[in-house]
Amino acid sequence: MLKIQRTKLKQQFDHKNNINTSIKEGDLVLVWDRPFKTPFAQSMKKLEPRWSGPYEALDRFYKLSELDNTPMERLYTREMLKIYYV
């Protein structure tokens, strides 16, 4: 019973997050904005946008740039990105 439930939850998670689609160089992506856990940070409000962007993927290691080709310093994981559809 527990194994069936875990399998069902995994399928729901995989369907929701769908990180199997690869992001290619030049694709437009959105980045998950989550508040930092500091004592002074405001918690995320209910109606604030949770995704920022779009940004352009520079390479397969999820290095991004602004649309004006200014590279961003940080690398992102696949879980923090989703493809931006125009």
Own/partner pairs, 15-24, CB within 8 angstroms, 24+ separation = 17/79, 19/78, 19/79, 21/83, 22/60, 23/57, 23/60, 23/62, 23/78, 23/81, 23/83, 24/57, 24/60
Higher pLDDT: 38 or 26? It is 26
pLDDT higher than threshold 90 for residue 56: yes
Q: Output the pLDDT for position 37.
A: 53
Percent of the chain with pLDDT over 90: 16
Q: Output the pLDDT for position 74.
A: 86
Q: Output the pLDDT for position 36.
A: 55
Q: Output the pLDDT for position 75.
A: 87
Whether pTM > 0.85 for this model: the answer is no
